[in-house]
Amino acid sequence: MTAFLDNTLSGLALGAVYALVALGFVVIFKASGVLNFAQGSLLLLGGYLVAVLHDDLGFAGALAVAVLATGLLAGAVDRLLLQRGGPDPAAAPVQTIVTIGVDIVLVTELSRRIGGDLLSLGDPWGDAVTEIGPVTVADSRIAAIAVSAVVIGAVFALFRFTPWGLSLRAAAEDTEAAALMGVRLSRVRMLAWCLAGALAALAAVFLAAFPAPGLERTTGQIALKAFPAAILGGMASPAGALAGSLVIGLTEAFVAGYQSDLHVLGEGVGDVAPYAVMIAVLLVRPTGLFGAKGAVRV
């Protein structure tokens, strides 16, 4: 029973962090139709900035700067590189590949700087733990769940209640009609990218916090696990991304937790289990759990 609770909690914490990244994917996809391959390197950039700056600015200051800087960079990538030909949704596949180029450059630069080091982010939780009944939970995990819940709630409120959120939903529904109604597509897009970058930087903090050893150059690859999370829920649905992330987080935690009973499948099967779950879901629902099966008018 303890093991079960333990796995559930670590799964939830993992899922909460994936949700931050997956929400970034979804926001960008909704606004521009682009699958952002640079999300992992943005995440790494955010973590790196926190690691470098926390000595001078303190953890909170460093985090604020990192979130802001990463968001701005993501916005700049969209505005200066992707939108050069205007916010044309038909160019989305090509723009997707451009993000691969951006990712390669960013990752190369950051891994050159990080090298083989493990960077500490100087987060306030350290390796403290809290006892909740029979289970012991790392404080960083509680923080991950709490902060993600607040931030994701705020993002949902942004979608629902702000003019920008309305514009975004309108643009995702029908780009042309939205443009005719006076939605400034390029600005809506750029803000979406800024938001996604900021979310990625925030996620980096929890991915590098205890029990993880610290920020490595491979930390950004964890963003790849948010791909199945986003797809699982339906690429254009924020609520789906949240649900998908929790499914992926719990799957990973449970498979890793009961690995000794699953040794037939080989070592490290927890890392690949999310992908198996994703394929299973796509077989039943080709557009994800919450994805709308769009009707086509001829």
Partner 1 sequence: MSDPIRRTVRLLPPVLLLVALPFYLDAFWLRIGLFSMAAAIGAVGLGLLCGTAGQLSLGHAFFLAVGAYGYTWFAGDPGLGLPPLLALLLAVLLAGAAGGLFSPVAGRVKGIYLGVATLALVFLGHHVLLTADSVTGGFNGRSVPPLTVGSFAFDLEPQLVVLGVPFGAEERLWYLGLALFALTWWTARGLLRGRPGRALTALRDSETAASVMGVDVARYRSAAFVVSSMYAGLAGAFLALAFRRVVPDYFGLTLSVDYLAMIVIGGLGSVAGATAGAVFVTALPLLMTRYADQLPLVASPGTTDGGVGPTEAARYLYGAAIVVILLFAPDGLHGLVRRLRARLRRRTGPGRPPSAAAPGPAPAPTPSASAVRTKEHTP
Applying CB under 8 A, the residues found at the interface with partner 1 are 29, 35, 37, 81, 84-85, 89-91, 93-94, 96-98, 100-105, 108-109, 112, 176, 224, 227-228, 230-231, 235, 265-269, 271-272, 275-276, 278-279, 282-283, 286-288, 296-298
Q: How far is the CB of 189 from partner 1 (least distance, A)?
A: 17
- Rounded Cα gap, residues 44 and 50, in angstroms: 10
Cβ 75 vs Cβ 191: under 8 Å: yes
Closer by beta carbon to partner 1, 235 or else 247: 235
Indicate if the alpha-carbon torsion angle 258, 259, 262, 265 is positive or negative. Answer: positive
Closer by beta carbon to partner 1, 133 or else 286: 286
Q: How far is the CB of 98 from partner 1 (least distance, A)?
A: 5
Q: How far is the CB of 279 from partner 1 (least distance, A)?
A: 5
Angle separating helix axes 39-76 and 2-32, nearest 10 degrees:
40
Q: Which of 30, 31, 26 is nearest to 238 (CA)?
A: 26
Closer by beta carbon to partner 1, 123 or else 274: 274
Q: How far is the CB of 153 from partner 1 (least distance, A)?
A: 26
Closer by beta carbon to partner 1, 197 or else 228: 228
Indicate if the alpha-carbon torsion angle 77, 106, 236, 140 is positive or negative. Answer: negative
Dihedral of CA atoms 154, 225, 230, 143 in degrees, nearest 10, equals -20
Strand-pairing partners, residue 138, are 129
Give the other-Cβ count within 10 Å of 44's Cβ: 32
Q: How far is the CB of 100 from partner 1 (least distance, A)?
A: 6
Q: Which two tokens stand for residue 277?
A: 């779950």
Q: How far is the CB of 174 from partner 1 (least distance, A)?
A: 9
Q: How far is the CB of 67 from partner 1 (least distance, A)?
A: 24
- Rounded Cα gap, residues 67 and 45, in angstroms: 10
Cite the DSSP H helix spans in 139-268: 139-161, 163-173, 175-180, 185-208, 223-233, 238-257
Closer by beta carbon to partner 1, 118 or else 269: 269
Closer by beta carbon to partner 1, 74 or else 209: 74
Closer by beta carbon to partner 1, 60 or else 105: 105
- Rounded Cα gap, residues 199 and 223, in angstroms: 12
- Rounded Cα gap, residues 203 and 192, in angstroms: 17
Cβ 209 vs Cβ 91: under 8 Å: no
Closer by beta carbon to partner 1, 159 or else 275: 275
Q: How far is the CB of 99 from partner 1 (least distance, A)?
A: 9
Q: Which two tokens stand for residue 187?
A: 């600005």
